[in-house]
Amino acid sequence: MPGFELFGDAERKELNDVLDNGVLMRYGFDGMRNGHWKAKELETELQDTFQSKHVQLVSSGTAAVSVALASAGIGAGDEVIMPTFTFVASFEAIMMLGAIPVLVDIDATLGLNPEAVEKAITPKTKAIMVVQMCGSMAHMDTLLAISDKHNVLLIEDACQAIGGTYKGKPLGSIGDLGCFSFDFVKTITCGEGGAVITNNSEYYSNADHYSDHGHDHIGNDRGAETHPFIGYNFRISELHAAVGLAQVRRLPDFLNIQKQNFNILRAALAEIPEVEFRTVPEGGEESCAFLNFFLPDLETATKVSQAFKDNGVDACWNYYNNSWHYIRAWNHLKDLKSLYPISKDRKEGLANLKTKDFSQSDYYIGRNISCLIKLSWTEEQVKERAEKMTQLIKANL
Ligand SMILES: Cc1ncc(COP(=O)(O)O)c(C=O)c1O
């Protein structure tokens, strides 16, 4: 990760196919397009990759989460349980629909803590949104059992975990709906793009229509199509899909490189008794997009993180005070800063965010360091990096 590190002829060829006929839109213009349907082709490839019956491409991972929720009928006043450690897109996508994000603690997997999830369920809960952060997964069997028991949906945000698996199934394909991002920094990237996957035909049909102004996509005259319900524009363009198509075909290679680099770094850090790796549930295989480890306490993690920065070990983060990924610095959410009025039920639902006890999440995120695994490193560079990281950790314990 990220796939742009290895852009090359394959991406150029797919892009040129689109530019040669000039049809940048994924729908219509049949006569002009010379048989090129990049978005459709990519959807078909992704059905295989994700072992999923249906794939709907959209314009971003954020759109994917919002479209997934909308397709399952989640909206005003519904509660969606989500983790404290994720990307801001999780609560944005929920808020966009008028639903209420209910934030709960994570555990040593860095994903939703099942006990905290169960405690947060109320009669208004419609979905549990599990976010497979940094290439790995939460305790999926337990979360599936909870979602079954309470008859709520399990939505899987696998935007950061393409290529990871649980008991042989691709992450993203385990819940009722899965979401992916192909933004600029993801393992496969097309600049901006995303996908919703599901085995449920009704959710798929809803996602297909909703992401294109409610168009039913019947026939080949857009102007004559009907709109079974209100939709919006979350379409992907053919240019983006073309790059995505080249990248997805290279995914197995990318994953192999990630794994090799990850294993070298992990083996080096495993020699330090104070380093503890995140929990990966039994039957889980990380995508190896990130190496995550815990240090004894927040103070040590802060020192090590600073030492990494000062010594050129880039792309490693401690998220405790980070405003992308962790509740502590999401002041705009806690203060309900919105350009337009927010409904009373959402204000009430979010009112406790400033005071709710997230000490369990603090315990894990405070001690965690999350290191991106790049695709472009040579083996020698990874070994040098492993050596440097080991020295810096030991020097700061
Ligand atoms: C976990 C998670 N969900 C959703 C998104 C949103 O994806 P996008 O940037 O494509 O909107 C991201 C992006 O980083 C993410 O990490």
- Sorted by sequence, the CB contacts under 8 Å of residue 356 that are 6+ apart come out as 103
Q: Rg for the chain (alpha carbons), in Å?
A: 21
**Nearest to residue 65, comparing CAs of 197, 184, 171, 191?**
197
Indicate whether residue 91 lines ligand 1 (CB < 6 A). Answer: no
Token output for 1: 């990760």
- Sorted by sequence, the CB contacts under 8 Å of residue 182 that are 6+ apart come out as 61, 188, 189, 190, 191, 192, 193, 194, 195, 240, 244, 247
Q: What is the mean pLDDT of residues 211-226?
A: 94
Residue 6 binned pLDDT confidence (cut-offs 50, 70, 90): confident
The neighbour count for residue 332, using CB atoms within 10 Å, is 11
Atom in ligand 1 nearest the alpha carbon of residue 186: 14
Q: What single-letter DSSP state applies at residue 109?
A: T
CA of 181 to the centre of ligand 1 (A): 6
- Sorted by sequence, the CB contacts under 8 Å of residue 89 that are 6+ apart come out as 61, 62, 65, 159
Atom in ligand 1 nearest the alpha carbon of residue 183: 10
Token output for 251: 């995914």
Atom in ligand 1 nearest the alpha carbon of residue 324: 14
The answer to whether residues 39 and 26 touch, using CB atoms and an 8 Å cutoff, is yes
Q: What is the mean pLDDT of residues 320-341?
A: 96
CA of 287 to the centre of ligand 1 (A): 16
- Sorted by sequence, the CB contacts under 8 Å of residue 206 that are 6+ apart come out as 70, 71, 72, 73, 229
Residue 296 binned pLDDT confidence (cut-offs 50, 70, 90): very high
Q: Which of 3-12, 67-76, 278-287, 337-346 has the lowest mean pLDDT?
A: 3-12
Residue 253 is predicted with a pLDDT of 96
Indicate whether residue 89 lines ligand 1 (CB < 6 A). Answer: yes
CA of 194 to the centre of ligand 1 (A): 9
Separation of alpha carbons 16 and 133, rounded Å: 34
In the set 38, 126, 186, 374, the catalytic residue is 186
pTM higher than 0.95, yes or no?
yes
CA of 374 to the centre of ligand 1 (A): 18
Residue 220 is predicted with a pLDDT of 85
Residue 31 is predicted with a pLDDT of 92
Residue 341 is predicted with a pLDDT of 95
Q: Is the pLDDT of residue 226 over 70?
A: yes
CA of 288 to the centre of ligand 1 (A): 17
Give the three-state DSSP class for 291.
strand
Chain-centroid distance of CA 95 in Å reads 17
Token output for 216: 């039913």
Q: Is the pLDDT of residue 34 over 70?
A: yes
Indicate whether residue 67 lines ligand 1 (CB < 6 A). Answer: no
Active site residue 186: yes
Indicate whether residue 194 lines ligand 1 (CB < 6 A). Answer: yes
In DSSP terms, 54 is beta-bridged to 198
Atom in ligand 1 nearest the alpha carbon of residue 62: 11
Q: What is the mean pLDDT of residues 122-136?
A: 98
Residue 3 binned pLDDT confidence (cut-offs 50, 70, 90): confident
Indicate whether residue 365 lines ligand 1 (CB < 6 A). Answer: no
**Nearest to residue 3, comparing CAs of 188, 214, 198?**
188
Separation of alpha carbons 65 and 181, rounded Å: 9
Atom in ligand 1 nearest the alpha carbon of residue 93: 4
User: Hey, which of 82, 131, 155, 183 would you mutate to test ligand 1's pocket, going by the most ligand atoms within 8 Å of its Cβ?
Assistant: 183
Separation of alpha carbons 133 and 230, rounded Å: 32
Indicate whether residue 160 lines ligand 1 (CB < 6 A). Answer: yes
Indicate whether residue 135 lines ligand 1 (CB < 6 A). Answer: no
Separation of alpha carbons 58 and 62, rounded Å: 9
Residue 336 is predicted with a pLDDT of 95
Residue 2 binned pLDDT confidence (cut-offs 50, 70, 90): confident
Q: Is the pLDDT of residue 17 over 90?
A: yes
Q: What is the mean pLDDT of the chain?
A: 97
CA of 87 to the centre of ligand 1 (A): 6
121: left (phi over 0), alpha (psi -120 to 50) or beta: beta
Q: Is the pLDDT of residue 1 over 80?
A: no
